[in-house]
Structure 1
Amino acid sequence: MINDEALALYSREQSGALDRALIEAGTPGFELMSQAGEAAWACLQRHWPDCRRLSVLCGAGNNAGDGYVVAALAHRAGWQVEVIALKAPQTLAGEAAEAVAMAQRTGVTITAWQSDWTPRGELIVDALLGTGLTGEVRAPYDEAIEAINRSGLPVLAIDLPSGLDAETGTVLGAAVEAARTISFIGRKFGLYTGQAPDYTGTIEYAPLSLTRQRRAGVDHLGWLLDAGLPSRTLPRRRPTTHKGQCGHLLVIGGREGFGGSVIMATETAARLGAGLVSLATSAVHVPPALTRCPEMMVKPVRNGLDLEELLEAASGVLIGPGLGQQAWGEGLMQAVLNTATPCVVDADALNLLASRWPKVQRDNWILTPHPGEAARLLGCAVSEVQRDRLAAARALHGRYGGVIVLKGAGTLVVGGPSGDECFVSPFGNPGMASGGMGDVLGGMIASLLVQGLSPLQAAATGVAVHGMAADRAAISGGERGLLATDLASFARQLVNP
């Protein structure tokens, strides 16, 4: 689905392997550091062209070295630069020591950290802690991070915001809230999921000397979804294409009083191109469903027996929105599990799976839990899921099989025979914090599934379209007040690239 090496996502250890591969290929370590500093300096000039006073906070190691290079370049350009050192510069070694010497030769003044520090700059460069951080942030770095955040000034984070786990996106006690992050060589997995979106600001990626050849032999954790995915996965429609060739989706859910979610999911599935869409729901929801979308076929169902003919006719199923966890919903879920039809399992169907069928495995289903549902499926706390979202998604795959869509900021899609295929969504915005967003996502994924995409393709493409549609809707009308039903028209545009 994705073969652009620039979209590969790396763990902490894999990022280090990329650095070593570059050095072994003949790029000196200080040359790499200079390239990183120059990329960060260019970023500063692009995005803050009127700035002339800069505060650079440096810790230890190569991250600090990058900061010293930036300080030297800014000073050469005539900016007023202060460097605040949390680690005595004379104790640094290797390339970082070379960067200190460069800054000193240029005339940069280096001052030791003081707890009452107040920035002199209009802009702060965070070069405190790099990808090597694995434990809680300790003093005096926690004080420095607090002072940076308290300043209210824009921050450029070097490689990643200090205090953020490069692998999981977890905040290790405290983290810098950056306006922008520039990441070098390989994209760090943790920049795109977990708590990271609250801290990274806009992410820029600078590969430096890295090439496809030099990446060879270095594994990666996953891929970042990109805007071109729908055009690569969606099948081309021939002039003679008819509805019978575009899939028949059966959506199941909507117990009495909970019809909105299942109606939204069904209509969205139709908007994304499923040839036929049927809805099995409580009798009370038949009139509003047909009023809302007369193109759907709606049947009232009393129990699992009423689903038999519908399941036989369907090429795919979405079950869960508004389903409930009482006898009605349980009977419908059992009927679906009795068939081999590919399906998307969402909402209450996931809760039923956790409580009634915790040992069922299938290769042809897609589970779409939010963190709370994921915790119930795994029998753990939500905090454990969020602490390492990739590990949680892989654990879900190991227990239930199929494809896992772990929703949230930086939604993860995990699949493949061993759960080793992973995709992360960079799309979406806070306007999606409203009811029904998960229901329309389920409808999108299920619609793509019945149109012939594999479960992994349908899940990844649906997640990308969902996030991009929300971003377009937010640009059109703003984030606040964004409704789930606003996404369908934008999503339709995206699946017609």
Structure 2
Amino acid sequence: MPDERVNPVPTGWEAWASGAETVWLPTAAEMGDLDREAVASGATTERTLIETAGREVARRVQAHWPEGAVVAVVGRGHNGADALVALRTLHSWGRDVRAILASTSAPDPDVLIGWDLSLQTSESLAAACAGAGVLIDGILGTGVTGAPREPQASVIEQINQLPIPVAAVDGPSGADPSTGQVAGTCVRATVTVSLGWPNIGLLRHPARDYCGRIECVEIGFPPPSFAPGARAITGRWVARTLIGRAPNAHKGRAGYLVLLAGQAGMAGAAVLGARSALRGGVGILKVVGDPANREILQRTCPGAIFVSWEEDEELSEAVQWSGALAIGPGLGRSGDRRILVEETLVARGTRPVVLDADGLSVFEGDMARLADLVTAVDVVTPHPGELARLTGVPLDRILDDPPVAAAAAAADLGCTVLLKGTPSWVAESGRPLRVSTTGGPGVASGGTGDVVTGLIGAYLAAGMKAADAAAAALWLTGVAASGSPEAAGHLASDIPDRLPGIRAQVAALGPPAGPVLFVSESAT
């Protein structure tokens, strides 16, 4: 059991909500620049960073595995030195420790400072792990790319065959910390302890599958002088960003939203978007759709007003009445729908819009026309397939580098792009990417995108900026989806009713408590 008396291990809601408001997600190159900058500025020294990193790794190991011997497998670089400091620290606390060298030379610098911890050869690994409580992976650091070489590759293979939990230092050996690629063998960690800030590659697949639970600890870096290319969407950021209601607020101040959704036979998509918008706090919602869906919408969403899209005057009045629009769920892709979407985008004036699903698909192969119709106040929410059809970029290229694809689309369209995936990426031209850290398998259910669209629409109607609305809705939907005890069988329709309670918990967040700045639960 974890040792929660000294170092609490946040789980469930506490894990999603724990930690700092601002969590950067640097590439390995950016992290290297931050490291060198910290030392060059005089804020710290290389040795101090190693000592602090090792002690924080020791604290996380003690928190998760307070009993049994601790084995550290170390390489020759700073990653190995961090692991040896952790081992030395645990030894000073009274733990039984064993060190295994997975390189031709010992770590540099020498961090044992007189402690009698002999480095055994890798041939002793299995014997050292017999009866041990945990193994620390300090083989390869974040500066190493490509497939592990010998002797490290064989040691990694052996570790993965041993029945022992693994704590990886800064990242599992063999995973690329920038791209998330795994070129050869890779340590399969139980917990990954990130140092300073988590590398962006650890949240990308397939590397994410090897990290287990990711915990980030502070080790003494000064504030960065430059903004890395990405940052995590965190609970405390959401708490600060969401617009609350004044005691004397009325429904008009909560925002007016038009949801254009639901052709005949696709009422479910409209229902999901409507329920999400209502649960997200929109003041008044008008659902514009096929008249065949009127009874379904009024029975399932009695708080919404239904408008037939066959009534031109009523449709025009609804658009002019609205404060924001959400367009796309279950809309259909016929030529008539393209005309409907274009006319609505023209008629909305300066009102913000979120475009999803069929609202995007009607522009397949005609991204230039969509770019003419959207502005900086808007959000588009494609999945990779929709983005490929829209842009003409091959799907494989988008899947190989989603953050680059999202950033390029945001620049070309001139609006916020939420590219769905695991993780999802919120791109705003000229600003750092925002990366989802919630959801996991729970969001892999048909209709979840409709829920996100309705929630973004509610936040746009309340006056939130486009990228903020997209990021907050993405985070909250992920937490709500994670509320299901089983990923399989979870339904998108389960999510909306959870949103008010989660928002209330977010609003009540106090200052961070404890040493962990960021947590990402295990991906499996």
Q: When the two structures are superposed, what TM-score results if normalisation uses the length of structure 2?
A: 0.84
Q: 1:34 aligns with which of 39, 48, 51?
A: 51
1:396–1:404 CA contact under 8 A, matched in 2: yes
How many Å separate the matches in 1 of 2:416 and 2:251? 27
- Amino acid of the residue matched to residue 495 of structure 2? L
How many Å separate the matches in 1 of 2:71 and 2:470? 44
How many Å separate the matches in 2 of 1:303 and 1:329? 15
1:435-450 to 2 correspondences below 5 Å: 435-450=446-461
1:320-469 to 2 correspondences below 5 Å: 320-339=328-347, 340=349, 341-361=351-371, 362-415=375-428, 418-469=429-480
1:71–1:108 CA contact under 8 A, matched in 2: no
How many Å separate the matches in 1 of 2:340 and 2:187? 48
Shift of 1:310: 2.5
Report the more deviating stretch, 306-315 or 336-345. 306-315
Report the more deviating stretch, 111-120 or 137-146. 111-120
Report the equivalent of 1:59.
75
> Is 2:502 the counterpart of 1:489?
no
Q: Cα RMSD (Å) of the superposition?
A: 2.8
Report the equivalent of 1:258.
266
Shift of 1:165: 2.2
- Amino acid of the residue matched to residue 98 of structure 1? D
2:366–2:391 CA contact under 8 A, matched in 1: no
- Amino acid of the residue matched to residue 14 of structure 1? E
Report the equivalent of 1:234.
242
> Is 2:38 the counterpart of 1:22?
yes
Shift of 1:295: 1.3
How many Å separate the matches in 2 of 1:352 and 1:145? 49
Q: 1:7 to 1:292 in 2, by over 3 A?
A: same
Q: 2:190 aligns with which of 170, 176, 179?
A: 179
1:161–1:199 CA contact under 8 A, matched in 2: yes
Q: 1:85 to 1:254 in 2, by over 3 A?
A: same
1:72–1:103 CA contact under 8 A, matched in 2: no
1:85–1:113 CA contact under 8 A, matched in 2: no
How many Å separate the matches in 2 of 1:332 and 1:75? 70
Shift of 1:478: 4.1
Report the equivalent of 2:62.
45
- Amino acid of the residue matched to residue 252 of structure 1? L
Shift of 1:137: 3.7
Report the more deviating stretch, 108-117 or 276-285. 108-117
Shift of 1:82: 4.0
Give secondary structure in 2 for the equivalent of 1:187: coil
Q: 1:275 aligns with which of 278, 283, 291?
A: 283
Q: 2:88 aligns with which of 72, 76, 95?
A: 72
Report the equivalent of 2:230.
222
> Is 2:100 the counterpart of 1:84?
yes
How many Å separate the matches in 2 of 1:200 and 1:457? 28
- Amino acid of the residue matched to residue 395 of structure 1? A
Shift of 1:401: 1.6
> Is 2:118 the counterpart of 1:108?
yes
1:51–1:122 CA contact under 8 A, matched in 2: yes
How many Å separate the matches in 1 of 2:193 and 2:114? 24
- Amino acid of the residue matched to residue 478 of structure 2? G
Q: 1:109 to 1:235 in 2, by over 3 A?
A: closer
Give secondary structure in 2 for the equivalent of 1:130: coil
Q: 1:134 aligns with which of 122, 139, 145?
A: 145
1:161–1:200 CA contact under 8 A, matched in 2: yes
1:170–1:387 CA contact under 8 A, matched in 2: no
> Is 2:320 the counterpart of 1:312?
yes
How many Å separate the matches in 2 of 1:386 and 1:171? 15
Q: 1:6 to 1:316 in 2, by over 3 A?
A: closer
How many Å separate the matches in 2 of 1:38 and 1:231? 31
> Is 2:157 the counterpart of 1:170?
no
How many Å separate the matches in 1 of 2:113 and 2:87? 7
How many Å separate the matches in 2 of 1:345 and 1:188? 31
Shift of 1:349: 1.9
Q: 1:158 aligns with which of 156, 166, 169?
A: 169
Shift of 1:433: 1.7
Deviations 1:384-405 (A, max 9, x none): 2233322121111111121111
Report the more deviating stretch, 312-321 or 406-415. 406-415
Shift of 1:144: 3.4
Shift of 1:344: 0.6
- Amino acid of the residue matched to residue 108 of structure 1? S
Give secondary structure in 1 for the equivalent of 2:72: strand
Deviations 1:141-188 (A, max 9, x none): 444333333334211010112222222333334432211111112332
Give secondary structure in 1 for the equivalent of 2:216: strand
How many Å separate the matches in 2 of 1:432 and 1:189? 21
Shift of 1:254: 1.6
- Amino acid of the residue matched to residue 134 of structure 2? L
How many Å separate the matches in 2 of 1:385 and 1:391? 8
Give secondary structure in 1 for the equivalent of 2:454: helix
Report the equivalent of 1:296.
304
Shift of 1:49: 0.9
- Amino acid of the residue matched to residue 19 of structure 1? D
Deviations 1:30-71 (A, max 9, x none): 23212211111121111101222x332223321122223333
How many Å separate the matches in 1 of 2:356 and 2:455? 12
Deviations 1:386-427 (A, max 9, x none): 333221211111111211112222322221xx3323222222
Shift of 1:23: 2.3
Q: 1:108 to 1:225 in 2, by over 3 A?
A: same
How many Å separate the matches in 2 of 1:22 and 1:51? 36
1:14–1:218 CA contact under 8 A, matched in 2: no
Deviations 1:265-312 (A, max 9, x none): 011101111111111222221111111011111123249887333222
Deviations 1:339-386 (A, max 9, x none): 333111111222223334445322121011222223333423434223
Q: 1:259 to 1:35 in 2, by over 3 A?
A: same
Give secondary structure in 1 for the equivalent of 2:333: coil
